[in-house]
Chains A and B, each alone.
Chain A
Amino acid sequence: MSEARDQILARVRGAIAQTPRPAAAPRAYRRADPRGQAELIEQFCERVGDYRAEVQRVRADRVADAIRTAAQRHRAQRLAVAPGLPQRWTAGCGLQLVPDDGLAVRELDTLDGVISGASVAIAETGTIVLSGAPHEGRRLLSLVPDLHICVVEHQQVVGLLPQALERLHGAVSDERRPLTFISGPSATSDIELQRVEGVHGPRRLVVIVTQEPS
């Protein structure tokens, strides 16, 4: 196979030998957002809603209530939780919580839902980003169960996608953590371009946003 490697590299070098080095890419697009946090959260919630996900703004000390009512609404009793999920978010919620300490996938598949935190949220696109931190858990945790309840903290919301990537730069380049950008529940538009929520990922996504820094 190293023969293939040498040959491909030689072909590439031959193909670009005469190519002058292009100028640096112009970056005139927006990389900062002048808006205040309240406005960003307003837009984030509106755009998450556009994907037909449920979104709720609550006081930081009312997260557990919001989780309980969301779970009840979806008739979810047994929910997996990320191993490092802050306890105050679920204290007294009355649900049967199953911490992910390496649950087998089949076990996970029998649960009604999952509760996780997030790393960053993007207002302009209504996106939440998970980066495999302890309060978010493994990638399959937010994938296999049919209901995903995700808690986004006030200060995690940024305006634009470039700002989100900047915040996560170290997580990827230094720690090699995986990133998952989630924009609404899983969907397909493969049948006559009609959008259907929910194919393989969670069919229902509930985003709970705290109203002030916690």
Chain B
Amino acid sequence: MRAPGESFPAAAHHELANPQLRANLANATTTIRTKRARVVEELPDWQALRDAGSAIKADVMANLDTYLLEFEAALTAAGATVHWARDGAEACAVVAQVARAHGAQEVVKVKSLATDEIELNRSLAQEGIHALETDFAELILQLDGDWSSHILVPAIHRNRTEIRDLFRRTIAPGIESDEPAVLAEAARLHLRERFLEAKVGVSGANFGVARTGTLCVVESEGNGRMCTTLPPVLVTIIGIEKLVPTLADLEVFLQLLPRSATGERMNPYTSLWTGVSDGDGPQELHVVLLDNGRTRVLADEIGRQALHCIRCSACLNVCPVYSRTGGHAYGSVYPGPIGAILTPQLIGIENAPSLPFASSLCGACYEVCPVKIDIPRVLLHLRARAVDTVGGRGERSAMRAAAWVFARGSRLRAAQRLGRIAQRLLLSGGVIRRLPPPLSAWTRTRDLRPLAPRGFVEERGERE
């Protein structure tokens, strides 16, 4: 996964300047929030399900080596070939190798964050293999060279007219209407032939069952079912943290995920498959177990709960920061609160030091998280690590200087006198909008109140 191109505050600045984006986002996040609240309210045992989900994931992390080996053995027994990938390059190489072995110039893809994270499409393109995105939103982004801004609704920043115009330029010349049903029909027609022709499918997985080797994909459109059943060969890439111990554990997550994600009682399609089934679906199955930074996250006792994430995106929709800046400002495949704790840990805090600060610490994300990830706690933990690792030299010397000034009343009074004279040059409209460097870092995102004409100490001195 690439590091964000610029810091969160800088990126947020231009995203906030786009009124269309802000309107689309406000509308979308409010709608999903309301739907989610309604279907969560319906379940009398929601908190018990969250408790179970959280505990099952903690168990998976604490025994991950055992579960991985169990998963590998079950898959192999069920006729699948298991590959281990330390990083994205190794995972991409497996897909390329399988595609080449079957003479496939194109693979059909289910929407998968893991494959976005490892930039599979770009990597396959370098090998001359086209990865066709078949999720409706992912197709839109692929056609336009754009990228996702939401875990679940990747094209949340696009409205219907923009999509109609894009389709007119690309897959559906002459399309007039911008009705969602018409646009969906255009995508259906465009992809149907490609599904029927495909030799190799590529998917991620929402869950992998260690005991049985079962893989699970949760989706809405049916493109996931197409990609995992029509092509004779299937490659499934799964992060090593996605395991659950037994089939019965899915009873918890298959209730938590759809209600938290799309705010539905259940999503239209959930597929489970266990290796290769005779005469039904792909007769060759490759499963890639992906590390790509996950073991690094696992090593941090506080931060590792980020690996419990089931990618529902509820935390994005309730976040006051995300719902204004959108996903692009995070510069990461994983945006929003979960991205702010996951991305810096996956790629190293030194490569994304501003992300743990992209939060007001209001705690809404923790309350909606279906597996109870304490995001605010991890944010604070990572902020401390960010300061230790990359920043803080300037801040430390400023604090030392402040300590020296505050140690004596005479020094403080002298500093205040000096400040009152100097600020005359900086005042505009009664506030200071810009300080000279290095203090400009403070005023880049804030206005500063000027020093009062008389300080507290001076006032008190006169009254006595």
Contact = CB atoms under 8 A, between A and B. Distances in A.
Interface of A: 1-2, 4-5, 7-9, 11-16, 18-31, 47, 50-51, 102, 105-106, 109, 122, 124-127, 132, 138-140, 143, 161-162, 165-166, 169, 172-173, 176-194, 196, 198-202
Contacts of B156: 193
11 contacts: A1-B84, A4-B90, A8-B289, A15-B298, A27-B48, A28-B51, A109-B192, A138-B229, A143-B225, A183-B267, A191-B136
Contacts of A169: 247-248
Nearest to A177: B277
A94 to B, nearest CB: 29
B32 interface: yes
Contact of A125 (B180, B225, B266): B266
A192 B180 contact: yes
Contacts of B274: 172, 176-178
Contacts of B298: 11-12, 15-16
Contacts of A172: 212, 214, 247, 272, 274
A53 to B, nearest CB: 10
A109 B192 CA distance: 10
Interface residues of B, number: 95
Interface of B: 24, 27-28, 31-32, 44-45, 48-49, 51-52, 55-56, 58-59, 61-65, 68-69, 78, 83-86, 90, 134-137, 140, 153-156, 159-160, 163, 180-181, 183-184, 187-188, 191-192, 195-196, 211-212, 214, 220-223, 225-226, 229-230, 240, 247-252, 254-255, 262, 264-275, 277, 279-281, 289, 291, 295-296, 298-299, 301, 304
Contacts of B65: 9, 12-13, 16
Contact of B277 (A1, A178, A190, A193): A178
Given A132-B277, A189-B153, A199 B184 contact: yes
B279 A102 contact: yes
A21 B58 CA distance: 9
A186 B221 contact: yes
Contacts of B240: 8, 12
Contacts of B301: 18-19
A29 B299 contact: no
Contact of B221 (A7, A26, A200): A200
Nearest to A5: B84
Nearest to B191: A200
Nearest to B54: A25
A184 B329 CA distance: 35
B315 to A, nearest CB: 18
Given A8-B289, A172-B212, A200-B188, A183 B90 contact: no
Contacts of A178: 271-274, 277, 280-281
Contacts of B61: 16, 19
A25 B56 contact: yes
B221 A9 contact: no
> B62, B160, B274 — which one has the most chain A CB atoms within 10 A of its CB?
B274
Contact of A191 (B134, B163, B248): B163
Given A8-B84, A19-B62, A138 B247 contact: no
Given A27-B52, A191-B183, A22 B247 contact: no
A180 B270 contact: yes
B64 A16 contact: yes
B291 to A, nearest CB: 5
Nearest to A142: B225
Given A105-B196, A143-B225, A183-B264, A26 B269 contact: no
A189 B262 contact: yes
A28 B160 contact: no
A201 B266 CA distance: 16
A40 to B, nearest CB: 15
B62 to A, nearest CB: 5
B196 to A, nearest CB: 6
A200 B192 CA distance: 8
Contacts of B64: 12, 16
A22 B308 CA distance: 14
A111 B404 CA distance: 84
B70 to A, nearest CB: 12
B188 A182 contact: no
B152 to A, nearest CB: 9
Contacts of B45: 28-30
B196 A109 contact: yes
A11 B277 contact: no
